[in-house]
Amino acid sequence: MDFESVAKAVTAVATPIAALVGVASRRKRLRNEIRENLALAEELQKNTILNEHTPVAVWLYGRIALDVAKLTGQPLGVPKKPIPKGSVVAAAVISAGFGWWAYFINRGGFVWYSVFPGSVSVLMLISILGMTTNREIPDAGQGSDQQDPEGEEAGVAEEVSGLPAEEAA
C-alpha cells in the first residue's frame, strides 16, 4: 500500500463524517465562499481598469446574490408546476401498447387500418411532451383580467371629485 491510496481512503471516509459533524458542511463552505467573494469584489472595485472596462464586479455580485439565495433557501428562477409522474407513466404505457399494436398489424407489410393505433400512440407521445414542457406558473398579479370592477368606479369618482374614493361616495 502506498501513501496515495491510504490518503484517498482516509479522505473518502473522513469527508462524510466531517460533514455530519458540521466541520466541512456545505452551508459553512458556502458562507466562506460568500465572504471571500465579497472581499474579492471590494478589491475589484478599487482597481479602476477592471472596474471601468469589464463587468467582472457585476458578475461577482450576481454570484454572491445567488449564493446568498441558496444559503437562505430562497427559490431561484421561475416557479414551475411539478411533472405529473403518474400521468406521464400512464401515457407512456398507453403509447407503447398502441405503438406495439400498430407494429404487430404491420409486421408483414403496411395495412391501412394500422394508422388508428399508430395515431393514438403519437397522440400519447405529444401529451407526454405537453406534460413535461411549459410548466411555469404564471404571475397572478400581472394579468389585466384580474382588475377589481369597483376599482374602476372608485378611480372615476376620485378623478371627478378630487377626493379619495371612500370620501367621494
pLDDT per position as a tens digit, 34-52: 899 888 888 888 888 877 8
Phi/psi at 95 (nearest 5 deg)? Answer: -65, -45
98 close to 127: Cβ distance less than 8 angstroms = no
| CA gap 131, 80 in Å, rounded | 12
| CA gap 103, 70 in Å, rounded | 49
Q: For the residues 80-87, what does the mean pLDDT come to?
A: 90
HSE on the CB side for 124, CA within 13 Å? 19
In the chain, the percentage of residues whose pLDDT exceeds 90 is 30
Asked whether the predicted pLDDT for residue 157 surpasses 50, the reply is no
Amino acid at position 8, single letter: K
> What band does 22 get if pLDDT is binned at 50, 70 and 90?
low
What pTM was computed for the model? Answer: 0.46
> What band does 164 get if pLDDT is binned at 50, 70 and 90?
low
Asked whether the predicted pLDDT for residue 127 surpasses 70, the reply is yes
Residue with the bigger pLDDT between 67 and 120: it is: 120
Residues 6+ apart with CB under 8 A from 98: 117, 118, 120, 121, 124
> What band does 126 get if pLDDT is binned at 50, 70 and 90?
very high
Asked whether the predicted pLDDT for residue 158 surpasses 80, the reply is no
